[in-house]
Amino acid sequence: MTQTLSARPLVVRTAAARRPAARGLLAGALVAGPLFLGAGVAQGLTRDGFDFTRNAISQLALGDSGWVQTANFLVTGVLVLAGAAGLRRTLREGPGGTCGPALIAVFGASFLAAGAFPADAGAGFPAGAPETAAMSTNGALHMAAGVAGYLALCAAFLVLARPLAARGHRAWALASRIAPAAVLTGFMASAASVLAFTVGAGLGLCWLAAVAARLLTDVRHEA
């Protein structure tokens, strides 16, 4: 009996100690999207020859100032991976507590791969680049990383609808089931407009940030 009574405060203290760490890590998923999009838009508006209707944000990693976008990819990847770890601590053994964070981790890793393997030049960017060019190995790996990452993110949204619903956030759960359709619609429309692809990718990053913010609020209330 004595051992049982003494163990309960220890469990409570351990759970309480996990919450600040979970909040700090989960904040990575909150910051990642706005940081990536903000840095990308700022570069796109200031880099010569870049046109959001013709060029993908990934192409900003090319040219003399390309290191800025490469760093943007890498920092975002690290933040998303931290967010995945925070999500695992937050959900623990509840619904989606294993699969959801794992899928978000795949999404984070895709940013690291995208930073390591830059996109191909084209559509006049960087300045002097041809309108079309044969796809290089780096370009193919960059594209593969993006496809794998965003498919994982869309799957994660579907998985995370379960813990959101379990916590009473039914509207959030519904939106999390709809978000993948919006992201994939943008991707499918990319053949007609690069801007549609950018919007679809941006929606995915923004919804990840929104879900992270919702769960962070829950963690603070549980503290």
Model confidence over 86-136: pLDDT tens digits? 999 998 878 888 999 999 999 999 999 999 999 999 888 998 888 877 899
What mean pLDDT comes out for the span 149-158?
A: 97
pTM greater than 0.95 (yes/no) = no
Dihedral, 159, 220, 222, 103 alpha carbons, nearest 10: 20
Sign of CA dihedral 124, 129, 132, 133: negative
pLDDT at 11: 36
Dump pLDDT digits (tens) for 1-11. 445 444 444 33
More confident residue, 14 or 149: 149
Would you place residue 219 in the very low, low, confident or very high pLDDT band (cuts 50, 70, 90)? confident
Cα separation, 222 vs 206, whole angstroms: 25
Q: How confident is the model at residue 149 (pLDDT cuts 50, 70, 90)?
A: very high
Rounded to the nearest 10 degrees, the angle between the axes of helix 99-116 and helix 137-166 is: 160
